[in-house]
Amino acid sequence: MTQRSGRDLIDAAKTRIREVSVNDVQAMQARGEPAVYVDVREPNEWNLGRLPQAILIPRGTLETTVEQRAPREATVVLYCAGGNRSALAADTLQQMGYDKVVSMAGGFRAWVDAGGTVDG
């Protein structure tokens, strides 16, 4: 079996998913577009702040939890701290049959840097 690094897996996932910018997500929220905002960080990161209307589903529990929290037909916006875990999560959700899923490039750090509203 070919050995691949974590970076290799992230880079490959990013070729299969759709990434959106912080500005895209802010515009979606400003337009009131219905979406499920999923924070895939860990609870200690969530406690430091999060996007408005977000729900917490840590990356490690995504596959066993998401179906109860996010309908398959919903637009799902995933984010993490920097955009890597959310890319992997988006790839996973697509494999599970979610077809309107995106990963926010740059993650929560980019959101804060862009002056995005933070809850918590």
> Catalytic residue positions?
80
Residues counted in the chain: 120
**For the chain, give me the number of helices (H) and strands (E)?**
6, 5
| CB environment 75-98: b (16+ within 10 A), e (fewer) | bbbbbbbebbbbbbbbbbbbeeeb
Q: DSSP assignment of 42-65, as one string? A: -HHHHTT-B-TTEEE--GGGHHHH
